[in-house]
Amino acid sequence: MHAPIIDISLFNTCQQIRKKYIHKSCKYDDIFKGLIFCGNCGKTSTLKHKTKINKNNSISQIDYYLCSEANKGTKKKCDNTKSISAKKLYELICPILIKECRNIFINKNDISILINNINNKISYNTTILKKEYNQINARIAKLNNQIKQIYEDKLERKITDELFTEIQNKKQEELLKCQRQLKDIEKNIEQETKRNTISYDQVQQIVQKFLNTNTISKELLHTLVNRIEFDNKKNLKIYFSFSDMLKRN
């Protein structure tokens, strides 16, 4: 219908270069998925996938984690743009897990107390989250009433259209922020309620299997590790779910 801006050979060359780097979110599973968090803002890190065509035409598949908040482009609220590959995570965490698992506390007389403490902590965390959830819900209800009131004030000519728009925009912005906070709290509550207490014998069995093979399984990670944080200085911090059962050197 019209003359092309670039010739077909240049177009094909650009398409070939573009195909070398294909980024997309992972819809499949990974042993670290759900455990990686941003060490700067605390948000979850998203599992991404990159397919790279090497110079010898071989294909490399790379899985990596990136802060979900820093991955929002111009709307991002976190500057942690550092990513870490799943392979690198495995290499860094494996020796740490080996060290910790070799220091598993073996005094079974104290296990019932430890289990009870863990359950109490889960219950306490859930209670705090629910309290925060209710406070934000109450704020949302108040904001909705305020928006309704300023709209009535506008209809009754108590405020100008310009002032109404200015106030409404501010209230709507705060409303959206509160709604995002509710979603984050809901996820945190779900994570806490899913943290079922596991018996010490089960912990020992999983740990022993790991020490015999030195192969990290998803079962081991999600049993012993609560979260892993990675910040913009490439610092890695591991929070163990059963820290009371793990005797530090």
pLDDT at site 38 = 93
pLDDT at site 243 = 59
pLDDT at site 223 = 78
Sheet containing strand 225-230, edge to edge, reads 36-38, 225-230, 236-240
- Alpha carbon distance 178, 139 (integer Å): 8
Q: At what angle do helices 200-213 and 86-101 cross, to 10 degrees?
A: 120
Looking at residue 248, its amino acid is R
- Alpha carbon distance 148, 102 (integer Å): 61
pLDDT at site 247 = 46
Per DSSP, helices labelled H in the chain are: 8-19, 86-101, 111-155, 161-193, 200-213, 218-224
- For residue 118, being part of any structural domain is answered with yes
- Alpha carbon distance 203, 225 (integer Å): 12
pLDDT at site 28 = 59
- Average pLDDT, 10 consecutive residues per value, the chain (249 residues): 58 58 54 91 88 80 88 80 91 88 61 65 81 92 92 89 90 91 86 64 76 84 86 89 52
CB within 8 A of 165, min separation 6: which ones?
none
- For residue 127, being part of any structural domain is answered with yes
pLDDT at site 137 = 92
pLDDT at site 170 = 92
Tokens of 174: 């705060």
Total domains present in the chain: 1
145: containing domain: 114-216
pLDDT at site 4 = 56
pLDDT at site 207 = 77
Per DSSP, helices labelled H in 63-160 are: 86-101, 111-155
H/E run at residue 47: strand 45-53
